[in-house]
Amino acid sequence: MITPPVSRYPVPPLEGLPDDLRARILEVQEKSGFVPNVFLAFSHRPDEFRAFFAYHDALMLREESNLTKGDREMIVTTTSAANNCLYCVVAHGALLRIYEKKPLVADQVAVNYRKADITPRQMAMLDFAMRVCLESDDIDEDDFAELAGHGFTDEDVWDIAAITAFFGLSNRMASFAGMMPNPEFYLMGRVPKAK
Amino acid sequence: MITPPVSRYPVPPLEGLPDDLRARILEVQEKSGFVPNVFLAFSHRPDEFRAFFAYHDALMLREESNLTKGDREMIVTTTSAANNCLYCVVAHGALLRIYEKKPLVADQVAVNYRKADITPRQMAMLDFAMRVCLESDDIDEDDFAELAGHGFTDEDVWDIAAITAFFGLSNRMASFAGMMPNPEFYLMGRVPKAK
Amino acid sequence: MITPPVSRYPVPPLEGLPDDLRARILEVQEKSGFVPNVFLAFSHRPDEFRAFFAYHDALMLREESNLTKGDREMIVTTTSAANNCLYCVVAHGALLRIYEKKPLVADQVAVNYRKADITPRQMAMLDFAMRVCLESDDIDEDDFAELAGHGFTDEDVWDIAAITAFFGLSNRMASFAGMMPNPEFYLMGRVPKAK
Amino acid sequence: MITPPVSRYPVPPLEGLPDDLRARILEVQEKSGFVPNVFLAFSHRPDEFRAFFAYHDALMLREESNLTKGDREMIVTTTSAANNCLYCVVAHGALLRIYEKKPLVADQVAVNYRKADITPRQMAMLDFAMRVCLESDDIDEDDFAELAGHGFTDEDVWDIAAITAFFGLSNRMASFAGMMPNPEFYLMGRVPKAK
Amino acid sequence: MITPPVSRYPVPPLEGLPDDLRARILEVQEKSGFVPNVFLAFSHRPDEFRAFFAYHDALMLREESNLTKGDREMIVTTTSAANNCLYCVVAHGALLRIYEKKPLVADQVAVNYRKADITPRQMAMLDFAMRVCLESDDIDEDDFAELAGHGFTDEDVWDIAAITAFFGLSNRMASFAGMMPNPEFYLMGRVPKAK
Amino acid sequence: MITPPVSRYPVPPLEGLPDDLRARILEVQEKSGFVPNVFLAFSHRPDEFRAFFAYHDALMLREESNLTKGDREMIVTTTSAANNCLYCVVAHGALLRIYEKKPLVADQVAVNYRKADITPRQMAMLDFAMRVCLESDDIDEDDFAELAGHGFTDEDVWDIAAITAFFGLSNRMASFAGMMPNPEFYLMGRVPKAK
């Protein structure tokens, strides 16, 4: 099941993992057809694995959010590109293409989101995400007002900021540990009915 | 119990919080004598509250780590200063002073860790933490070799990176939301048996 | 033949172009099955069109070069990503995949070439290309020595520098004028015998 | 009287100094209870010692200035933090706390002055000081107009700029020479009736 | 005719060059009284020589442009200074002084164009040229609108951008190859009736 | 005697100045044939005028220094260019040409000192000056060792650092106040026996 390399850290055998980790990994394998390497790369640290994916789910699966799943993956892809994180750009770019049903959008936001074929609301969302990513210390009420002008509530702003902040963590972990994206991600969502 | 301002986001009344959040908040209040604002600032998002503190504890309370508690708080204070995060520098600088029993060290690493009165091993640890904080995309085997020369194992390196990455998340959340450090933190650990 | 938008500048009708421009455009259309937008975007300035493509050909088709066509497109894709140029990353990333016969390599070098699955010689080539792209004023004999250690002659170094410099020009033109990559490029070289 | 280390440069014995230097040093010792290391670090260069402190006094003791002593120390602390100067942040942060009678303000402006508990007028003053500190070449009439909107005259603007510029000199001298702040500074102004 | 050093690359003897290169070199020698080193530095690559000077002429000699020759050299001098390119600042600074008949202007724009004695229209032109030089990925319709307010048409904007982009190429080639400006350039246009 | 503009600040009439300022101004006028604008620009602040020129003289006229006058002006010109200070680059570039008797050297170090025709010892001196100018917080014993390898004593290092730091002050004052270099400076030292 494991195609090397996952990262520069060793990956424990699946059977040796705590039950909840193994269950989560098998679940994602069944759903996706493969195990995204981030699950394997974190599995040698069960407590961090649990916290990482709990945080991920709290943000990316949050049901009461006004951000669509496409919006959220767009934030991830754009800010991960700003951090030059190979794993996250490739893996979340795939999800972005699928959720937005736009095969070109992930490459566009990864290279230069200002040139991407997205809505003005999404552009404002990404402008703010980049502020959180690169200069969070300079954010003030003007940022909130700008976003309010595009219909974003304070809770929406929290969502944008929290997703950006969480993937800033993820980007740093993936880059330092050399996590490599699974080959499957690169083509997902690029062709109609892929696979 | 709550002295405004905590952050620009509303803080729900303690009695309305889920039991586990309220219990955690009361626990820290009993232990510290006050509730650090980060607990209140996250309380309107229970799932994120749980994931945030679970991740925090996984890293900062990890028992099998070779990093001392002082080492860990030193990483937090130094990298939070690089991100200009007021809340984390003040709050974790207090813990750093206490764990290291050095009343001057937090101000030193926050302003310029290269001038701080710390060990060469700690200096190498902070050099790497700053790499993770500011240029994680450029990390390679040379970084691991440098750290190995100071006795850090690969698992120690993961600890340094993960703490830096997690507080990069925390810094961005605190700065964007305007979380203010409790006044109590500023003086903690500066005077013998601080009142 | 022209699918808008090509760029923010008007594209003259093909029949109104000077013969040599029209011939070149028809030639590339026949060879590729479509007209890359850069040909159309430059066509309102015939003298610049001629000079641009003459320069391009002098570098990218240079027969006596020791750089393979894959090497050259790798330089273009990597440095164009550093300049956040959507057109060049997408268009030349396609050529890179085809020449290198590696469907994943373009996304890798565009996001973080240090993590890409390339040879040490190519890594040194890209390190130098990034120096030319971002800090050409600081290049000295140490750079030449480093490259010589990987087997690059002085003429090879000129090739790397000239390709980087030329596409620095191209990146700035494409970005300022809003040139959009043709949709065909995004998928080229990603799947065996695409289309 | 001298507690090592003062800086990496030797400190001549007090009795060997020119009379005016010795008098100044004894005066500050009597007033403060200790000799700030900057006096000792400059004492091996009498002409520079005299010019440095004459310049310091011309700016920081200027009686006709509309800037309060607290304003001036706030400029010093904030811009010295931008230059990562340990000596000046710690020493002038102490004076700032005392003059403003605000035990928290020095840490706030040193980490992120935009989050500090200061007046809008002081915020505008610091915005301009940071311009002088980091991008003086870009200052134009818009800066003067912005400051005028907060009641600052052209002479006040000169004061802000001159204080920032002088401490930019001081920061570079202290950092290059490794001047260490006296331990006494760290706690000054933090507790009621310190000492 | 050749005074070393021209660059770190060998310069072929004039008699061995293709006829068109030799003719061009002799022509410039006759006109200027010396051969600018850039002609010699490119002569070992005839195809690139031809393309480089064809591109140069297409932009710098373009007759239908609304930019004066002085405007164009001002763009070159300013952006070449931003790229720290010794050859281009010295050589094109000389031409700028001559075309503008202002012996001080080249040094002014090279050090800080915002302080130069130029028109508001030229200042806006240089502001945009610096955008193309340093942050072309961020250019959008606001830039075009700003320039339109100073009377620049879209075709004028293309001229500014193309000149900046072409000399960005030239700067990188000159810096990497160590091209040295001919001594004659330094004094041209500084004194009345300079020979 | 005064040719406008000197700076954006008013210049008091010579007769109204304190005697020592007027004497100093008349002295420099007699020696140079004109009054450099920096003397006029500082004259409305007598105490700062005195301290500024006392500091200047302590560094630039220091007799026991191992740095030649040419070395010192080279440091000023190079670092002032890094700060984009028009006044100091033009005025001190003139002095540099005269002291070094090299009419080309000022333009060279101002654009890119790494390409200048200077000695390896001067290159090392400028490398360190740029460290003090741009990243003084990062200087450590390795810098001193590097300079020692070129024969610089610790006192020489202090000279380099102090000159850089003082002109960093001067650069910020000149830029913020819009001090304009006197036209006379531009041509000084460029031609033999300049009139």
What pLDDT, in 10s, does the model give residues F26-53? 999 999 999 999 999 999 999 999 999 9
Is B in contact with F (3 or more beta carbon pairs below 8 Å)?
yes
φ and ψ at residue C57, rounded to 5 degrees: -65, -40
Average pLDDT over residues B27-31: 97
Chain C residues with CB under 8 Å of F114 CB are 137-138, 140
What pLDDT, in 10s, does the model give residues C70-128? 999 999 999 999 999 999 999 999 999 999 999 999 999 999 999 999 999 999 999 99
- Give the span between the Cα atoms of E92 and D102, in whole angstroms: 56
* pLDDT value, residue F5: 86
The whole-model pTM stands at 0.96
pLDDT at D110 over 90: yes
Nearest to E72 by CA among E84, E83, E88: E88
Chain F residues with CB under 8 Å of E107 CB are 86, 89-90, 186
Interchain CB distance below 8 Å, E187 and F190: yes
pLDDT at A118 over 60: yes
Which of F107, F178, F191 is facing E115, going by the closest CB pair?
F178
What pLDDT, in 10s, does the model give residues C60-69? 999 999 999 9
Interchain CB distance below 8 Å, F90 and E103: no
Interface test with B, best of C114, C123, C126 (most B CBs within 10 A): C114
Average pLDDT over residues A160-173: 98
Chain B residue whose CA is closest to D112? B84
- Give the span between the Cα atoms of B29 and B17, in whole angstroms: 15
pLDDT at A83 over 60: yes
- Give the span between the Cα atoms of E121 and E151, in whole angstroms: 8
Chain F residue whose CA is closest to C136? F112
φ and ψ at residue D56, rounded to 5 degrees: -55, -50
Interchain CB distance below 8 Å, F176 and D136: yes
Interface of A to E at Cβ within 8 Å reads 112, 114-115
Chain F residues with CB under 8 Å of C137 CB are 112, 114-115
Neighbours of A16 (CB within 10 A): 10
Interchain CB distance below 8 Å, E115 and F86: yes
Interface of B to A at Cβ within 8 Å reads 8-9, 45, 47-48, 50-52, 54-55, 57-59, 62, 83-85, 132-133, 136-137, 139, 144, 154, 157-158, 161-162, 164-166, 168-173, 175-177
| Contact indicator for E65, E156 with CB cutoff of 8 Å | yes
- Give the span between the Cα atoms of C114 and C120, in whole angstroms: 10
Average pLDDT over residues B151-164: 98
User: Measured between alpha carbons, how far apart are the two ends of chain C, in Å?
Assistant: 19
- Give the span between the Cα atoms of F40 and B66, in whole angstroms: 63
Both tokens of residue B189? Answer: 């650990």
pLDDT at C59 over 80: yes
* pLDDT value, residue E195: 44
- Which of the four pLDDT bands, split at 50, 70 and 90, describes residue D1? very low
| Contact indicator for F131, F144 with CB cutoff of 8 Å | no
Distances (CA, A) of F120 to E179, E181, F72, F114, F150: 19, 20, 15, 10, 8
Chain E residue whose CA is closest to D140? E114
Measured between CA atoms, how close is A106 to chain C, in angstroms? 10
* pLDDT value, residue D53: 98
Measured between CA atoms, how close is E115 to chain D, in angstroms? 9
* pLDDT value, residue F193: 61
The H helix count followed by the E strand count for chain F is 10, 0
* pLDDT value, residue A4: 56
- Which of the four pLDDT bands, split at 50, 70 and 90, describes residue C1? very low
Nearest to B93 by CA among B194, B195, B187: B187
Asked if omega into B183 is within 30° of 0 (cis), the reply is: no
Chain F residues with CB under 8 Å of D50 CB are 54, 58
F partners (3+ CB pairs within 8 A) are B, C, D, E
Query: Which DSSP category does F14 fall into?
Result: G
Chain C residues with CB under 8 Å of A186 CB are 103-104, 107, 190
Angle between helices D154-177 and F154-177 (to 10 degrees): 160
- Give the span between the Cα atoms of C85 and C90, in whole angstroms: 9
| Contact indicator for D145, D155 with CB cutoff of 8 Å | no
Q: Name the 3-class secondary structure at A6.
A: coil
Which residue type is seen at E56? Answer: H
Interchain CB distance below 8 Å, F111 and E85: yes
Q: Name the 3-class secondary structure at E167.
A: helix
* pLDDT value, residue B5: 86
Neighbours of A54 (CB within 10 A): 17
Instruction: Give, for F131, the enclosing helix (H) or strand (E).
Output: helix F120-135
Interchain CB distance below 8 Å, A112 and C180: no
* pLDDT value, residue E1: 40
Interchain CB distance below 8 Å, B191 and D187: yes
Chain D residues with CB under 8 Å of F154 CB are 8-9
Chain C residue whose CA is closest to A93? C107
Nearest to E37 by CA among E101, E105, E88, E77: E88
% of chain C at pLDDT higher than 90:
95
- Which of the four pLDDT bands, split at 50, 70 and 90, describes residue C193? low
Rg (CA), chain A: 17
Interchain CB distance below 8 Å, F172 and D154: no
- Give the angle subtended at the CA of F112 by the CAs of F107 and F116, to the nearest 5°: 70
Dmax over CA atoms of chain A, in Å, equals: 52
Distances (CA, A) of C96 to B110, C55, C110: 45, 19, 11
Interchain CB distance below 8 Å, C161 and E176: yes
Interchain CB distance below 8 Å, A84 and C111: yes
Query: Which DSSP category does F3 fall into?
Result: P
Is F in contact with A (3 or more beta carbon pairs below 8 Å)?
no
Burial class (CB in 10 A: 0-12, 13-18, 19+), C136: buried
Measured between CA atoms, how close is A98 to chain B, in angstroms? 26
- Give the span between the Cα atoms of A136 and A161, in whole angstroms: 9
D partners (3+ CB pairs within 8 A) are A, B, E, F
| Contact indicator for F83, F168 with CB cutoff of 8 Å | yes
- Give the span between the Cα atoms of E18 and C11, in whole angstroms: 36
Instruction: List all residues 6 or more positions away from D10 whose beta carbon is below 8 Å from its beta carbon.
Output: D44
What pLDDT, in 10s, does the model give residues F1-27? 445 589 999 999 999 999 999 999 999
Interchain CB distance below 8 Å, D51 and F55: yes
Q: What is the mean pLDDT of chain C?
A: 96
Both tokens of residue D184? Answer: 């006494």
Q: Where are the alpha helices (DSSP H) in D16-135?
A: 19-32, 37-42, 46-60, 69-82, 86-100, 105-112, 120-135
Interface test with A, best of E135, E137, E139, E140 (most A CBs within 10 A): E137
Exposed e or buried b for every residue in E96-123, given b needs 16+ CB within 10 A?
bbbbbebbbbbbbbbbbbbbbebeeebe
What pLDDT, in 10s, does the model give residues B65-96? 999 999 999 999 999 999 999 999 999 999 99
| Contact indicator for E147, E124 with CB cutoff of 8 Å | yes
* pLDDT value, residue F3: 52
Measured between CA atoms, how close is A27 to chain B, in angstroms? 21
Chain B residues with CB under 8 Å of A50 CB are 54, 58
- Give the span between the Cα atoms of D58 and D60, in whole angstroms: 6
| Contact indicator for C7, C37 with CB cutoff of 8 Å | yes
Residue B43 half-sphere exposure toward CB, CA atoms < 13 A: 27
Q: Which residue has the tokens 């999800």?
A: A95
* pLDDT value, residue F2: 43
DSSP string, A125-192: HHHHHHHHHHHGGG--HHHHHHHHTTT--HHHHHHHHHHHHHHHHHHHHHHHHT----GGGGTTTTST
- Give the span between the Cα atoms of F147 and F136, in whole angstroms: 15
Chain B residues with CB under 8 Å of A158 CB are 9, 45, 177
* pLDDT value, residue F4: 55
Interchain CB distance below 8 Å, F103 and E187: yes
pLDDT at E193 over 90: no
